Amino acid sequence: MHLDIDNGVSLEKVDRFCYFGDMLDADGGCDSAVTTRAAWKKFCEYLPILTGKGFSLKLKVKVYATCVSCLMHGSETWPMNVEHELKMNRTEMSMIKWMCGVKLNERKKSEELRELLG
């Protein structure tokens, strides 16, 4: 759909758009921002360090903090709901489990893993 404004200018109506690096929904929601965060990209970029056996946990935690800051950047301005918060928490815990070498079939409590990271 196009919206015609003065002087023969026509604007296209879109469902979502990128604004300062964030994907925003036309209705003002943050669904797109939550799902398109660059955190996984950054996490995978540092995967050899984050999952490598030859690196200290202290170094891994510092590198991991960079990934989380990518995940959280700008989120204080999003109209978050419980579903968004849960999704971001699941993403964070997936990263922590992978970094700690916890397999999918292993049951480890989130608090236990967070405590391990300090």
In a domain, 17, yes or no: no
pLDDT average, residue stretch 107-112: 83
How many structural domains are present in the chain? Answer: 1
In a domain, 31, yes or no: no
Give me the pLDDT at residue 36, please.
Answer: 57
What own/partner pairs with CB < 8 Å and gap ≥ 24 does 97-101 have? 98/50, 98/51, 99/50, 99/51, 99/60, 99/64, 101/51
**Which of the 8 DSSP states describes residue 55?**
S
In a domain, 8, yes or no: no
* Structural domain boundaries, residue 52: 37-117
What is the share, in percent, of the chain residues with pLDDT greater than 70?
Answer: 73
Give me the pLDDT at residue 79, please.
Answer: 74
In a domain, 56, yes or no: yes
Which of the four pLDDT bands, split at 50, 70 and 90, describes residue 1? low
**Token output for 39:** 């955190």
> What span, in angstroms and rounded, lies between the C-alpha atoms of 80 and 73?
13
pTM exceeds 0.85 for this model: no
pLDDT in tens, 16-70: 777 666 666 766 666 666 665 656 777 788 889 888 888 888 888 888 887 777 6
Give backbone dihedrals phi and psi of 52, rounded to 5 degrees, phi first.
Answer: -70, 145
* Helices marked H in 3-81: 31-35, 39-45, 47-51, 57-72
